[in-house]
Amino acid sequence: MFRQGRLLLSTIVKPSFKNSSNFRSSNGKQINCAEIKIPVPWGHVAGKWWGPTDIRPILAIHGWQDNCGTFNRLLPLITQDVGFLAIDLPGHGYSSHIPDGFYYHNINYMILVQRLVNYFKWPQVSLLAHSLGGSIAFLYAIINPQNVDLLICLDHVKPFIKNKIISTNSKTISKFLQYEELERQNIEPPAYTMEEIKQKISSSLGGSVAYEHSHHLAERNVAPSKSQPGKYYFTRDPRLKETELINWRQEDLVSGARRVRCPVFIAKAIDGICFEEAKNVHEVVDALKESGNCELHTLEGTHHFHLNNPEVLAGLIKKFLEQHRSDRSVGGIKGEMIVSGRHKLQELHF
């Protein structure tokens, strides 16, 4: 079964791999989507494999407290000649929570990317990422530029520079230990109706997620309450609520961006989110452009424009991928990672 920390989710039904979820691409072609589970030292990383499974996919990384469902509407529009492995980061979605006593931070996420590269024996990795995922992908690309053959960042490119880092970290550590104690006690979190769940998701980050698409994030993010029938609780690790302790130096990020040599695609939403001074982002983007292989697009929409209105974005990404083809002959799916049954919470009504 899938385990969310210590809380066990409901029954897994077992259709065959061929009966995994099916979606339609932009040209009407049927696209397969398989539930997968990859072993890691603390448990497993879950996710979805979209499209062709016999070639190396593009690794898709979601944002903070989201899950791989964030790509449900985008990937079917661009999955044709290449597949996508969209993962749930540790503590998110159906993936295992990290062990007691540990903290979620970007360094662990970068190590996770390398674990996946090693697991599949990928000669290089292609990255598509949103929000926090964009920071992870960017950082991995600047420390391992030779390992990345293309980079796609959606509404976030770099880890943001924090002000008042000392006082902020003091509060963060205190709050983290409180959330850790809640996780250790295995107390069921507050429960809500499905309507309340969807409203909470759609109202976060200034209303970034359209209500009608909030179920794509809710599906992998909640479980039925045992104490309050008809209600649900969020299963993501509460320790995720406390953000990064590390503060990156702007000059290091700019110089690191100059190390990136792979093709880079950046899409910013007009009504997106900027967590720091805009000039910090512009400096990094300008450094990426120095290679002559970086394109920047500004599109209508909110921070979750890839989920709310993915059509224009999908067309631009398809064109980018057609221009920058890679050898994908090594690194397809492994039989051991295919989940025998598709995970369904039968009680959920979206």
Q: Report the catalytic residues.
A: 131
Question: What DSSP designation does 193 have?
Answer: -
In the block, tokens 């990094």 appear at 284
Burial 250-264, CB ≥16 within 10 A → b, else e: beebbebbeebebbb
Q: Where are the beta strands (DSSP E) in the chain?
A: 3-4, 7-8, 21-24, 30-40, 43-50, 58-61, 84-87, 125-130, 148-154, 222-224, 232-234, 264-271, 294-302
User: For 53-96, what is the HEC assignment?
Assistant: CCCCCEEEECCCCCCHHHHCCCHHHHCCCCCEEEECCCCCCCCC
Instruction: Give whole-number Cα distances, 22 to 18, 39, 136, 154, 181, in Å.
Output: 9, 25, 29, 25, 41
Q: Which of 324, 34, 273 is nearest to 134 (CA)?
A: 273
Cα distances (angstroms) measured from residue 178 to each of 29, 48, 104, 190? 49, 32, 15, 16
- As a whole number of angstroms, the distance between CA 201 and CA 25 comes to 26
